[in-house]
Structure 1
Amino acid sequence: MKENAILKKSESFAYRIVDFCHHLKYDLHEYQLAGQLIRSGTSIGANVVEAQNSISKKEFVVKMTIAQKECGETMYWLRVIHHGKYLEDALFQSLYKDCEEIMWLFISILKSSKKTDLES
């Protein structure tokens, strides 16, 4: 069975976000930013799972588009948290790079999904 890269990467990313948000909330006492980041960062993978269980191609594209938007929002919150000095440079670079890789996967998946719709 072929490995599902977007599913694997988004789930792994969610674990990292949960760990960081735990630190942000309980060690740094930054509750609002932790809440924003955990919602968007874990929503990426949740929407990918929903897309995998879609009953139609249209529903798949919609769910993957929502996941892509959540990915963009997560990148925003990472930049804000980093700017606020709650996130050290090395961890910011690592999380942001992972998020960018996921974003590029969404771009590729959605591009090919829309291309096959045009060919049908």
Structure 2
Amino acid sequence: MNSPLLEKSLDFATDIVLFYEAFSKSRKDTTIVKQLLRSATSVGANINEAIYGNSKADFISKLHISLKETSESIYWLTLLKRTKLFEYDFDCLLSLADEIKRMLISSIKTAKENK
């Protein structure tokens, strides 16, 4: 299935995995980055589950989970940016996460209207 939302979430997860690898080499505490890795990779996993869900309600529920995981990822990225523990283009990651968040909100709204 060709889904722009799924593609964006896969791009986001890929970028976060690459960020995680770079950060891990800095030998700094990775607690926050591990939280980010979990939430960011969960976004696309739940979108994928939504696409193949059992019902409209299941579809909407999985998209809501993805929205929550996206919001959590934005929180961790913002925290990492503010702490300045690692030099990175956080604005690019935050922009992609925000785009996914807007797409999810729109998809949830549309799905609820078409119930």
**Corresponding letter in the other structure for 2:20:** C
Partner of 2:39: 40
Contact preservation (8 Å) 2:33, 2:76: no
Identity of paired residues, percent? 36
CA RMSD in angstroms, aligned pairs only: 1.4
Distance 2:96 2:108 in 1: 18
Map 1:21-40; keep pairs closer than 5 Å.
21-40=20-39
- Inter-CA distance 30–24: structure 2 relative to 1 (3 Å threshold): farther
Partner of 2:96: 98
Local SS of the residue matching 1:27: coil
Aligned length: 115
Map 1:1-120; keep pairs closer than 5 Å.
3-88=2-87, 91-117=89-115
Task: Please report how far the alpha carbon of residue 61 of structure 1 lies from its aligned counterpart in structure 2 after TM superposition.
Answer: 0.3
Task: Please report how far the alpha carbon of residue 25 of structure 1 lies from its aligned counterpart in structure 2 after TM superposition.
Answer: 2.0
Task: Please report how far the alpha carbon of residue 37 of structure 1 lies from its aligned counterpart in structure 2 after TM superposition.
Answer: 0.6
Q: Deviations over 1:73-116 (max 9, x none)?
A: 00000000011103446x11100000000000001100000111
Quick one: higher RCO (CA 8 Å, sep 6+), 1 or 2?
Answer: 2
TM-score (norm 2): 0.94
- Structure 2 runs not aligned, ≥5 long: none
- Inter-CA distance 31–111: structure 2 relative to 1 (3 Å threshold): same
Local SS of the residue matching 1:38: helix
When you count helix as a share of all residues, which structure comes out higher? 1
- Inter-CA distance 58–64: structure 2 relative to 1 (3 Å threshold): same
TM-score (norm 1): 0.90
